[in-house]
Structure 1
Amino acid sequence: MSREVRHLIGVVAGLAALPLVYYLTEAGARALRAAYATFRPAPVGLGYLTAVAAIVVLLAAWSWLSPLAALACGLPLTAVAALFAFDLDVALELAGRLPSFAVPVGEPPGTLAGVTGLYAVIGVLLVLSALLPRGRRSILGG
């Protein structure tokens, strides 16, 4: 497979993973918040965040072929995290325009995960996995 094809597939994979990571992270954060508020365990929240971790591992593992998969997902998440950190009003307005899936009324998607820094952690990890030297990008790499 040529380098260009690998890079194109990497970009497509990263962009396809972006909404999954965004919404699953928010769902996990909301489930954890609900469990914390009711003093109950949160297996659903753990499940959502485990799914996010699996996607992140797959994207990081892909970076031994093409770092663009991790960058295509990680850079927008890092930008979202920066927006939540530096201009919460703009972040909330933009998040309010996104489609919401089972998000409580009045709470834009991504709000809880954005203000708690989950997007920053995930995005920075993905970007770092893409920027590491080729032999150190992934435990799966050579």
Structure 2
Amino acid sequence: MTRESRHLMGAVAGLAALVPVYYLTEAGAKALRMGAAEGGPAPVGLACLAAVAVLVAVLSAWPAAAVTCGVPLFSAGALFAVDADAALGVAATLPWEGLAWDGLPSAELAEPPGTLAGLTGLYTLIGALLVLSALLPARWRSILSA
């Protein structure tokens, strides 16, 4: 396999992982918020964020995938930080109803998908971690990169 084809496969994998990372992060944040509001545990939120952590760990082993997924996430988080109204307008155009998984919190009408995770800085953090992981020397990355 050539170097170019590995980079192309990494870019495709990063783009494919972007949707699950985006929506699982939002579902996890909403489940944690609901658990905190009810004064109880939120195992669904923990499970969603654990799934995001696994995806990020796998992507961080592949620099092309990490950058392709991390840059849009970081950009979304930066947009929420700089201009929340514009970010909410963009998030309102994203589909949510077709992506609701059983047991996960769905979006309210007044809250587009990605709002909570964007406003709390989760997308910025995850995106920055992915991009920074791609900048690390190969010997510091995961054993999965071999």
Measured against the shorter chain, the TM-score band is over 0.9
Counterpart of 2:101 in structure 1 is none
Q: Deviations over 1:61-97 (max 9, x none)?
A: 2x2xxx1100000000000010000000100000000
CA gap of 1:12–1:124, structure 2 versus 1, over 3 A, is same
**C-alpha contact 2:58 2:144 (8 A) present in aligned 1:** no
- Structure 2: which amino acid aligns with 1:8? L
**C-alpha contact 2:28 2:49 (8 A) present in aligned 1:** yes
Q: What pairs with 1:33-72 in structure 2 (closer than 5 Å)?
A: 33-61=33-61, 63=62, 67-72=63-68
Counterpart of 2:96 in structure 1 is 100
Mark the runs of 5 or more structure 1 residues left unpaired by the alignment: none
Q: Please, what TM-score do these two structures have when normalized by structure 1?
A: 0.93
User: Would you say 1:81 and 2:82 are equivalent positions?
Assistant: no
Moved over 6 A (4+): none
Tell me by how many angstroms 1:135 deviates. 1.5
- Structure 1: which amino acid aligns with 2:20? L
* 1:121 pairs with one of 119, 125, 135: 125
**Other structure's SS at 1:130 match:** helix
For 1:40 and 1:28, the matched residues in 2 are separated by: 15
Counterpart of 2:102 in structure 1 is none
Q: Indicate the RMSD between aligned Cα atoms, in angstroms.
A: 1.1
User: Would you say 1:134 and 2:130 are equivalent positions?
Assistant: no
- Between Structure 1 and Structure 2, how many residues are aligned? 138
Q: Deviations over 1:83-123 (max 9, x none)?
A: 00000010000000000132111101100000001111110
For 2:143 and 2:33, the matched residues in 1 are separated by: 33
Tell me by how many angstroms 1:136 deviates. 1.4
- Structure 2: which amino acid aligns with 1:73? C
- Structure 2: which amino acid aligns with 1:71? V
Q: Deviations over 1:21-71 (max 9, x none)?
A: 00000000000000000001000000100110110011012x2xxx11000
- Structure 2: which amino acid aligns with 1:81? G
- Structure 1: which amino acid aligns with 2:80? F
User: Would you say 1:91 and 2:87 are equivalent positions?
Assistant: yes
For 1:116 and 1:139, the matched residues in 2 are separated by: 31
